[in-house]
């Protein structure tokens, strides 16, 4: 952001740009929390004498695939929105929402399988870390699904009206960008967590 | 960015829009669910004052126990109720609750939310030339999360188990063994972190994106720099505290044992496996140490500003001040383990933390030197805020020097958890931050409420607080060196410490007097809001910064017309024959900026 463009903008324009900026800082804060959790994992593993290595159920590979796929549909939704194709934007959002929900369901199924393997939160500290870190991530997915739901409801109410041009205000465009950024971020976050857990369980 | 630029046409009438807004404000939108940063700042300040009174009152109650062991406190029964034993003495469990609440309330609710919440909200838009925060909605949410945290914490005072009793650090396994009070404590602080993170996001975003024309980063007042780095520290450290809390909540409520190992409590064996309490200490102090800078940096910024304005001299070494705050910010993340020298850490690792800890003395010393150099030979006006600011510098030096003692692991192992450490941190971050806060409130009170605070009461309060604080905390250094441990309910069982009984009584008496004078200050504060002398001029202190270019009682939007443009740095005092030159005055032809060296004079 150069000094010049900063000077040219009005209060509202600055606020608009600032919202995107604020989201990135917020993502940094979320990342710090997971950095804290994974650091705790490393420290605990290093000084533990009774650490159990268990193999991660295969279903988590599938859920990883699903979350990557949901990012792809989200990219598609962004493209459709930019082109003004509101119907396909809504459909792709719905697809993203479905994939996100599927991801959550798969995570829960994965936790059940782990539990069936005898990896208990109370008994196994390595298991407890697994549940807590993936659970904290699932909470962020839940937040993302909520945002998606709001955006789907918003566009569904608008879609019958023809006037797409007037609908596309900078604020609404920005909202879509912010939603997509958050969604890609939590997808990326899961990949980081998954690789971290895989690495530490082999 | 191209999509954003298209809004240009229909946003230019903003000034009129803001003036218009004042018409349809009712009580709720003006005072409660307000999005005006100035009102939110006042909300933070008044909530902070509320907690400060409660937290200070708690300290008086436990000082009663320490100064007059097992005295009959039944006269306090209307307030303390069941927390007195049948013979009228203080319940030991409640003593623990008092010290826990005193620490939690003062560190988090008063000196974090009350200090940086107040001044970041109030000063950032006014001093950088913005109509409001980047996100007024997030700003409002920040206060209401803080309010929710406050309600939960307040409620925890009244539940049957009593409030949390595990110390403000809530170390497991002690915090694991606590009742509902600790659950509420964790819940409350989680909301508190949400508030701080939302606030911090907004402060950083606003400072980087919302500055007025001409306000480059190095034309910002030092208050803004300090608040900026405070927010950066908060955003990087508070999420890690949440991570630590999540694991603690799991340990307490869901039976995991991240932090717990096999325990024997009251002869009962608890099979808890092989968790590590040290892990919690790492996660806690990764926040906990930066937290002390979250507390002290805003006070430092305020003091820099107040000293410069009131000695009518430019801040000495402006850039050195900025870079020393930056250095403190970076170092603050590399020293957390100096709280843990006795945890059995590898001495080599310990020595690295000693090195970084002692390095913080360098930027701190730069700042102290610059404050003194700023007022040196200045035309000092000894109004209350200047007194408070000088008091801050005094306290910061005294407490900072004992920090150098404690930073050495070899000495710290002897002094750990004694009254020496109590004295150190109360002086350097408790009293000093409070004096900075008092300076700030006195300095910006005219802008906040359009009135002045009473000066005579302020002088009385200042002297009693300054002298009282030294009388309270100075003797504690000697007690600490003699090994008197902190957080003990009573020293009856230790013959070695009986020699300090008189000193303890003395400290307690002084603490009560100082407490009474804090009430005087609060009375002055509220009296002055309604009955104080009215402000007649828009720039009563003769300051250069932008907030004094607004009307005496600025509305939502701050400036009725266009936002002023900035041409010069904020510390043009005593320049070219002017006592002060506001930032909005264009540079004269041939005038040199403060950093330019004048051309060599011609020899005639």
B13 Cα to chain A: minimum distance (Å):
10
Lowest mean pLDDT across B149-153, B187-191, B487-491: B487-491
Q: Mutate which of B7, B138, B345 to test chain A, going by most A C-beta atoms within 10 A? A: B7
For residue B319, what are the contacts with CB-CB under 8 A and spacing of at least 6? B218
> Does residue B287 register a pLDDT over 70?
yes
Does residue A116 sit at the B interface (CB-CB below 8 Å)?
no
Tell which B residues from 135 to 194 touch A, by Cβ distance under 8 Å: 135, 138
The Cβ of residue B506 has, within 10 Å, a number of other Cβ atoms equal to 15
Q: Is B405 exposed, middle or buried (0-12, 13-18, 19+ CB in 10 A)?
A: middle
Find the mean pLDDT for residues A44-59.
Answer: 84
DSSP assigned state of B261? E
pLDDT band at B600 (very low <50, low <70, confident <90, very high): low
With contact defined as beta carbons under 8 Å apart, do A36 and B244 qualify? yes
**pLDDT reported for residue B604:** 58
B219 Cα to chain A: minimum distance (Å):
13
Of B206, B247, B274, the CB nearest to A48: B274
More confident position, A32 or B29: A32
With contact defined as beta carbons under 8 Å apart, do A90 and A155 qualify? yes
Rounded CA-CA distance B139/B133 in Å is 7
More confident position, A33 or B29: A33
Lowest mean pLDDT across A166-175, B127-136, B442-451: A166-175
> Does residue A157 register a pLDDT over 90?
no
Rounded CA-CA distance B202/B196 in Å is 10
Rounded CA-CA distance B238/B242 in Å is 6
Rounded CA-CA distance B61/B21 in Å is 48
Residue in chain B nearest A129 by alpha carbon: B258
With contact defined as beta carbons under 8 Å apart, do A155 and A89 qualify? yes
Using the CB atoms, write b or e for A111-120: b if 16+ within 10 Å. beebeeeebe
Output the six-digit token pair for B239: 């999420």
Output the six-digit token pair for B513: 């007097």
Q: Is A202 exposed, middle or buried (0-12, 13-18, 19+ CB in 10 A)?
A: exposed
Class of domain B33-580: mainly alpha
CA atoms within 13 A on the CB side of B462: 24
Does residue A123 sit at the B interface (CB-CB below 8 Å)?
yes
Q: Mutate which of B4, B204, B273 to test chain A, going by most A C-beta atoms within 10 A? A: B4
Find the mean pLDDT for residues B262-285.
Answer: 86
Find the mean pLDDT for residues B147-167.
Answer: 93
Cβ distance of A50 and B7 shorter than 8 Å:
no
Find the mean pLDDT for residues B50-79.
Answer: 91
Find the mean pLDDT for residues B125-141.
Answer: 92
For the four alpha carbons of B114, B115, B120 and B123, in that order, the dihedral sign comes to positive
The model carries a pTM of 0.91
The pLDDT > 70 percentage for chain B reads 94
Q: Is B148 exposed, middle or buried (0-12, 13-18, 19+ CB in 10 A)?
A: middle
CA neighbor of B596 nearest in space, from B557, B573, B568, B563: B568
Helix axes B118-128, B37-67, angle to 10 degrees: 150
Which residues face A125 on adjacent strands?
none
With contact defined as beta carbons under 8 Å apart, do B297 and B244 qualify? no
> Does residue B146 register a pLDDT over 80?
yes
> Does residue B448 register a pLDDT over 60?
yes
CB contacts, 8 Å: A173 with chain B? 3
With contact defined as beta carbons under 8 Å apart, do A63 and A141 qualify? no
Does residue B211 sit at the A interface (CB-CB below 8 Å)?
yes
3-state secondary structure of B418: strand
The pLDDT > 90 percentage for chain B reads 75
Q: Mutate which of A6, A11, A30, A83 to test chain B, going by most B C-beta atoms within 10 A? A: A11
Rounded CA-CA distance B170/B158 in Å is 19
Does residue B254 sit at the A interface (CB-CB below 8 Å)?
yes
Lowest mean pLDDT across A124-128, B227-231, B359-363: A124-128
**pLDDT reported for residue B601:** 65
Q: Is B318 exposed, middle or buried (0-12, 13-18, 19+ CB in 10 A)?
A: buried
Does residue A2 sit at the B interface (CB-CB below 8 Å)?
no
Phi, psi of B68 (to 5 degrees): -130, 75
3-state secondary structure of B450: coil
**pLDDT reported for residue B12:** 39
Q: Tell me whether the omega of the peptide bond preceding residue B173 falls within 30 degrees of 0, making it cis.
A: yes
ipTM of the complex: 0.88
3-state secondary structure of B365: helix
pLDDT band at B436 (very low <50, low <70, confident <90, very high): very high
Q: Which CATH architecture best describes the domain A3-200?
A: Up-down Bundle (1.20)
Q: Is B410 exposed, middle or buried (0-12, 13-18, 19+ CB in 10 A)?
A: exposed
With contact defined as beta carbons under 8 Å apart, do A1 and B209 qualify? yes
Cα–Cα separations (whole angstroms), residue B235 to A27, B2, B110, B201, B520? 10, 30, 18, 7, 35
Over chain B, what is the mean pLDDT? 90
Tell which B residues from 215 to 244 touch A, by Cβ distance under 8 Å: 216, 235-244
Does residue B286 sit at the A interface (CB-CB below 8 Å)?
yes
**pLDDT reported for residue A201:** 80
**pLDDT reported for residue A34:** 95
Token match 């250069």: residue?
B544
Residue in chain A nearest B234 by alpha carbon: A29
The Cβ of residue B267 has, within 10 Å, a number of other Cβ atoms equal to 5
3-state secondary structure of B574: strand
pLDDT (tens digit, 9 = 90+) per residue, B372-395? 999 999 989 999 999 999 999 999
Residue B82 Cα to chain centre, angstroms: 33
CB contacts, 8 Å: B235 with chain A? 25, 28-29, 32
Which residues face B263 on adjacent strands?
B270
Phi, psi of B434 (to 5 degrees): -65, -40
Of A5, A10, A25, the CB nearest to B11: A10
pLDDT band at B24 (very low <50, low <70, confident <90, very high): low
A9 Cα to chain B: minimum distance (Å):
8
pLDDT band at B2 (very low <50, low <70, confident <90, very high): very low
**pLDDT reported for residue B338:** 94
CB contacts, 8 Å: A14 with chain B? 130, 134, 209-210
Output the six-digit token pair for B492: 């009856």
CA atoms within 13 A on the CB side of B304: 33
Q: Is B493 exposed, middle or buried (0-12, 13-18, 19+ CB in 10 A)?
A: exposed
pLDDT band at A64 (very low <50, low <70, confident <90, very high): very high
* Alpha helix (H) residue ranges in B129-276: 136-156, 180-209, 222-253
**pLDDT reported for residue B412:** 93
pLDDT band at B270 (very low <50, low <70, confident <90, very high): confident
CB contacts, 8 Å: A123 with chain B? 273
pLDDT band at B405 (very low <50, low <70, confident <90, very high): very high
Cβ distance of B282 and A11 shorter than 8 Å:
no
Residue in chain B nearest A82 by alpha carbon: B3
Q: Is B75 exposed, middle or buried (0-12, 13-18, 19+ CB in 10 A)?
A: exposed
For the four alpha carbons of B50, B99, B520 and B474, in that order, the dihedral sign comes to negative
Query: What is the H or E stretch that residue B308 is in?
Result: helix B277-311
CA neighbor of B218 nearest in space, from B600, B595, B518: B595
CB contacts, 8 Å: B204 with chain A? 25
**pLDDT reported for residue B598:** 62
CA neighbor of B303 nearest in space, from B438, B164, B169, B418: B438
> Does residue B321 register a pLDDT over 70?
yes
**pLDDT reported for residue B17:** 43
pLDDT band at B77 (very low <50, low <70, confident <90, very high): confident
For the four alpha carbons of B399, B404, B406 and B407, in that order, the dihedral sign comes to positive
Residue in chain B nearest A1 by alpha carbon: B209
pLDDT band at A9 (very low <50, low <70, confident <90, very high): low
The Cβ of residue B468 has, within 10 Å, a number of other Cβ atoms equal to 20
Phi, psi of B313 (to 5 degrees): -135, 145
DSSP E strands: which ranges in B502-601?
573-575, 578-580
CB contacts, 8 Å: A48 with chain B? 274, 276
Output the six-digit token pair for A97: 């929402």
Output the six-digit token pair for B199: 């606030």
The Cβ of residue B262 has, within 10 Å, a number of other Cβ atoms equal to 12
pLDDT (tens digit, 9 = 90+) per residue, B4-23? 443 333 333 344 444 444 44
CA neighbor of B403 nearest in space, from B359, B373, B437: B359
Of B11, B134, B238, the CB nearest to A18: B134
Does residue B202 sit at the A interface (CB-CB below 8 Å)?
yes
CB contacts, 8 Å: A49 with chain B? 274
pLDDT band at A160 (very low <50, low <70, confident <90, very high): low
Rounded CA-CA distance A89/A98 in Å is 14
Cβ distance of B283 and A44 shorter than 8 Å:
no
**pLDDT reported for residue A159:** 67
Of A3, A11, A30, the CB nearest to B131: A11
Which residues face B265 on adjacent strands?
B268
CA atoms within 13 A on the CB side of B60: 20
Rounded CA-CA distance A43/B258 in Å is 11
Residue in chain A nearest B250 by alpha carbon: A132
Rounded CA-CA distance A103/B155 in Å is 39
Rounded CA-CA distance B387/B519 in Å is 19
> Does residue B602 register a pLDDT over 70?
no
**pLDDT reported for residue A8:** 52
Phi, psi of B435 (to 5 degrees): -65, -40
More confident position, B601 or A152: A152
pLDDT (tens digit, 9 = 90+) per residue, A96-129? 999 999 999 999 999 999 999 888 888 888 889 9
Does residue A27 sit at the B interface (CB-CB below 8 Å)?
no
> Does residue A52 register a pLDDT over 90?
no
Where residue B577 falls (left for φ over 0; alpha for ψ -120 to 50; beta otherwise) is left
Residue A95 Cα to chain centre, angstroms: 15
pLDDT band at B161 (very low <50, low <70, confident <90, very high): confident
DSSP assigned state of B314? P
> Does residue B563 register a pLDDT over 50?
yes
């Amino acid at each position: 952001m150069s000094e010049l463009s900063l000077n040219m903008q009005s209060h509202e324009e600055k606020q608009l740009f600032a919202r995107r900026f604020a989201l990135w800082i917020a993502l940094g804060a979320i990342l710090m929390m997971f950095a804290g959790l994974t650091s705790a994992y490393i420290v605990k593993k290093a000084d533990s004498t009774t650490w159990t290595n268990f193999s991660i159920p295969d279903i988590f590979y599938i859920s990883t695939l699903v979350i990557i796929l949901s990012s792809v549909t989200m990219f598609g939704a962004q493209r459709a929105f930019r082109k003004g194709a509101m119907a396909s934007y809504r459909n792709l959002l719905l697809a993203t929402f479905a994939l996100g929900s599927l991801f959550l369901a798969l995570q829960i199924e994965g936790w059940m399988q782990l539990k069936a393997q005898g990896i208990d939160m109370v008994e196994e500290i390595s298991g407890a870390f697994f549940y807590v870190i993936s659970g904290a991530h699932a909470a962020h997915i839940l937040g993302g699904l909520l945002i998606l739901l709001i955006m789907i409801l918003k566009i569904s109410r608008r879609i019958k009206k023809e006037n797409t041009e007037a609908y596309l205000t900078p604020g609404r465009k920005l909202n879509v960008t912010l939603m997509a950024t958050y969604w890609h971020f939590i997808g990326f976050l899961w990949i980081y967590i998954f690789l971290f857990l895989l690495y530490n369980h082999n | 960015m191209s999509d954003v630029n298209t809004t240009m046409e229909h946003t230019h009438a903003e000034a009129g829009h803001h003036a218009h807004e004042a018409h349809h404000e009712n009580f709720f939108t003006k005072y409660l669910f307000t999005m005006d940063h100035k009102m939110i700042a006042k909300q933070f300040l008044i909530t902070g004052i509320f907690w400060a009174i409660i937290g200070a009152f708690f300290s008086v109650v436990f000082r009663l126990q320490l100064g007059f062991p097992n005295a009959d406190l039944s006269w306090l029964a209307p307030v303390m109720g069941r927390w007195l034993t049948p013979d009228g003495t203080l319940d030991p469990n409640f003593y623990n609750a008092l010290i826990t609440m005193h620490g939690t309330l003062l560190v988090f609710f008063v000196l974090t939310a009350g200090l940086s919440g107040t001044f970041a909200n109030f000063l950032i838009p006014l001093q950088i030339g913005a109509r409001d925060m980047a996100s007024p909605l997030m700003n409002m949410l920040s206060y209401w999360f803080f309010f929710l945290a406050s309600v939960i914490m307040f409620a925890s005072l009244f539940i049957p188990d009593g409030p949390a009793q595990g110390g403000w650090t809530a170390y497991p396994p002690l915090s694991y063994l606590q009742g509902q009070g600790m659950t509420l404590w964790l819940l409350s602080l989680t909301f508190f972190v949400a508030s701080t993170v939302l606030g911090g996001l907004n402060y950083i975003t606003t400072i980087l994106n919302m500055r007025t024309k001409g306000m480059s980063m190095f034309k910002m007042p030092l208050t803004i720099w300090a608040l900026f780095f405070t927010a950066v520290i908060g955003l990087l450290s508070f999420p890690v505290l949440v991570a630590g809390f999540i694991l603690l909540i799991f340990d307490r409520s869901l039976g995991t044992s991240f932090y717990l190992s096999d325990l024997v409590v009251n002869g009962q064996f608890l099979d808890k496996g092989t968790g590590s309490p040290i892990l919690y200490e790492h996660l806690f102090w990764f926040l906990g140490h930066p937290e002390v800078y979250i507390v002290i940096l805003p006070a430092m910024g305020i003091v820099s500003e107040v000293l410069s304005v009131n000695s009518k001299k430019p801040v000495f070494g402006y850039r050195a001040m900025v870079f020393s705050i930056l250095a403190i910010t970076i170092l603050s993340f590399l020293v957390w383990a100096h709280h843990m020298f006795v945890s059995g850490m590898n001495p080599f690792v310990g020595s690295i933390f000693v090195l970084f800890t002692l390095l913080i003395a360098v930027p701190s010393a730069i700042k102290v030197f610059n404050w003194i150099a700023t007022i040196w030979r200045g035309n000092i006006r000894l109004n209350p805020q200047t007194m408070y600011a000088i008091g801050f510098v005094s306290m910061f030096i005294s407490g900072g020097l004992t920090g150098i003692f404690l930073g050495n692991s070899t000495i710290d192992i002897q002094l750990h958890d004694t009254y020496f450490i109590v004295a150190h941190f109360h002086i350097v971050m408790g009293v000093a931050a409070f004096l900075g806060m008092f300076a700030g409130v006195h300095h910006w009170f005219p802008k906040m409420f359009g009135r002045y605070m009473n000066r005579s009461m302020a002088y009385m309060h200042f002297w009693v607080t300054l002298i009282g604080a030294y009388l309270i905390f100075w003797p504690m250094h000697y007690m600490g060196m003699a090994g008197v441990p902190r957080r003990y309910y009573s020293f009856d069982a230790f013959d070695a410490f009986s020699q300090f009984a008189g000193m303890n009584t003395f400290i307690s008496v002084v603490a009560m007097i100082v407490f009474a004078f804090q009430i005087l200050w609060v009375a002055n504060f509220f009296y002055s809001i309604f009955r104080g002398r009215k402000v007649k001029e828009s720039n009563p202190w003769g300051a250069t910064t932008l907030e004094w270019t607004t009307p005496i009682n600025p509305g939502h939007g701050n400036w009725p017309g266009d936002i002023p443009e900035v041409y010069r740095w904020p510390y043009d005092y005593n320049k070219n024959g002017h006592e002060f030159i506001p930032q909005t005055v264009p540079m004269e032809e041939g005038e040199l900026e403060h950093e330019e060296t004048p051309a060599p004079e011609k020899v005639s």
